Amino acid sequence: MTQQHITSAFDRDLEGIQAKIMKMGGLVEAAILEGAISLETRDEERAEKVRAADKVIDLLEEKINEDAARLIALRSPTAGDLRLVLAIMKISGNLERIGDYAKNMAKRTGVLAQMAPVSDSAGSLRRMAKEVSKMLKDVLDAYIHRDAELAGDVIKRDSDVDQMYNGLFREFLTFMMEDPRNITACMHLHFIGKNIERMGDHVTAIAEQVVYLVTGEYPEEDRVKSDVTSTQTI
């Protein structure tokens, strides 16, 4: 009877933590899209809301980590349950970093709003951010349903985000060579593009945690990054 009581208490506590993870995921997903839209539309008020929302995301991560640590200390979870709790902590950390990148994107909106647009670069960045947001939505679904196949699909799609980033990088170089007046704006836009690419990396890290949760093993093959800009300068 005591063991059953401990198990039910663990499940109840875990359910509360997982509810916070999903809330955090929803806020981060919104931050990605809102940050990208504010950039494209030069909506500084919208960008400020993204920056303010990041504080809520940070607080949720802190609360999740506190609850997870308390759960481990009080409930002494078995190997499988402990793996789940530790995975949740890693997932919340990745979500927090994605939120930071969305905030950084919003921070640049005010600066870029004072500069002449560079072709449709902001629109291209929004499309790239939308793809990352879709990946995040799918990986959260994979987590809830313990769907390793869907998580594996998310991992594969990160290469598409890398390719989009590589294309933008080359465009920015071209714009700067064509007109030196584009240099400052392109530097800011490149920074945003790199942040979105890094968001994709963190979504992929979450997907790897989901695969681990379901199978007990991380994906066998190391991901081959398609970002070819690391050896180039801008």
Is 223 within 8 Å of 156 (Cβ atoms)? no
In the prediction, which pLDDT does 7 show?
65
Question: Which secondary structure element, helix H or strand E, spans residue 72, and what is its range?
Answer: helix 44-75
Cα separation, 36 vs 42, in Å, equals 10
Closest CA to 194 of 172, 216, 220: 172
In this model, does residue 231 exceed pLDDT 50? no
Dihedral class, residue 218 (left if φ above 0, else alpha if ψ from -120 to 50, else beta) = beta
Q: How far apart are CA 147 and CA 210, in angstroms?
A: 8
Mean pLDDT of the chain: 90
- SS3 at position 116: coil
Kind and range of the H or E run holding 99: helix 79-112
Domains of the chain: 2-215 (1.20.58.220)
pLDDT tens sequence across 170-213:
999 999 999 999 999 999 999 999 999 999 999 999 999 999 99
- The pLDDT assigned to 5 comes to 41
Question: What share of the chain in percent tops pLDDT 90?
Answer: 78
Of 76 and 220, the one with more pLDDT: 76
Write the pLDDT tens digit of every residue in 61-109: 999 999 999 999 988 888 888 889 999 999 999 999 999 999 999 999 9
| pTM for this entry | 0.89
